[in-house]
């Protein structure tokens, strides 16, 4: 989704999911997002999932990790390809960063977690944080988020990353990590196409 599709009356740039966690899209200076997040939302730390090129000034100057640091905000930058899931190490870093800030360093301040549109990569981080902090399931965490930010839209790999994290935290839980039938069919077709060897087209010579 293009970040320009966000509108305060349709799709808010960000939403407060729980008391100290705000989830949203890439903030911009022209919209005073940095100031509003710090002053209105009481943000004191940020988890940034965007890759460096996503801060390109194509649609205006985005708030970069350096800008946040200059404003006195704690930053964890975990560049992740759009549409992909953060790896297990990065997810753990993000959850630990958020947990430590909220429970030790924040003084009541909030953490802002964002990717480009606040619908995929950043959602993975918030889901995993909720699973860890509230001991809920992945599905329950997703429902908690949807009640506040209905437009979230994680892909299968992102959902799997959340469930894998949940399993690592709660190994006794019965968690289905197998892909849905539709994903198996896609993988089968892909593997089949890669295994087919076509004969040389000698007759074209």
6-to-25, 116, 127 alpha-carbon distances in Å: 9, 11, 22
**Of 118, 138, 117, residue with least CA distance to 127:** 138
Q: In terms of residue numbers, what domain contains 98?
A: 3-173
pTM: 0.83
Residue 48 belongs to domain with CATH number: 3.90.190.10
Chain centroid to CA 192: 32
The DSSP bridge pattern shows strands 43-48 and 21-24 to be: unpaired
Domain assignment present for residue 185? The answer is: no
The tens place of each residue's pLDDT in the chain, 205 residues long, gives: 445 555 544 789 999 999 999 999 999 999 999 999 999 999 999 999 999 888 876 667 999 999 999 999 999 999 999 999 999 999 999 999 999 999 987 789 999 999 999 999 999 999 999 999 999 999 999 999 999 999 999 999 999 999 999 999 999 999 988 866 544 444 444 555 555 555 555 544 4
Domain assignment present for residue 169? The answer is: yes
Domain assignment present for residue 200? The answer is: no
Sheet holding 21-24, edge to edge: 14-18, 21-24, 110-114, 43-48, 74-77
């Amino acid at each position: 989704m293009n970040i320009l599709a966000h509108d305060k009356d349709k799709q808010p740039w960000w939403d407060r999911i729980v008391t100290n966690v705000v989830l949203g899209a890439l903030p911009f200076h022209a919209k005073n997002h940095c100031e509003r997040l710090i002053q209105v939302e009481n943000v004191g730390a940020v988890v940034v999932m965007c890759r460096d090129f996503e801060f390109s000034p194509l649609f205006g100057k985005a708030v970069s990790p350096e800008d946040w640091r200059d404003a006195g905000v704690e930053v964890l930058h975990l560049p992740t390809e759009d549409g992909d899931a953060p790896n297990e190490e990065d997810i753990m870093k993000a959850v630990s960063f958020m947990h430590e800030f909220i429970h030790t360093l924040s003084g009541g301040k909030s953490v802002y977690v964002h990717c480009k549109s606040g619908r995929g990569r950043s959602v993975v981080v918030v889901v995993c944080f909720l699973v860890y902090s509230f001991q809920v399931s992945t599905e329950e965490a997703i429902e908690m988020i949807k009640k506040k930010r209905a437009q979230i839209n994680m892909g299968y790999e992102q959902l799997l990353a959340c469930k894998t994290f949940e399993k690592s935290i709660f190994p006794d839980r019965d968690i289905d990590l197998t892909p849905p039938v539709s994903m198996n069919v896609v993988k089968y077709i892909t593997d089949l196409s890669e295994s087919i060897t076509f004969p040389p087209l000698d007759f074209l010579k």
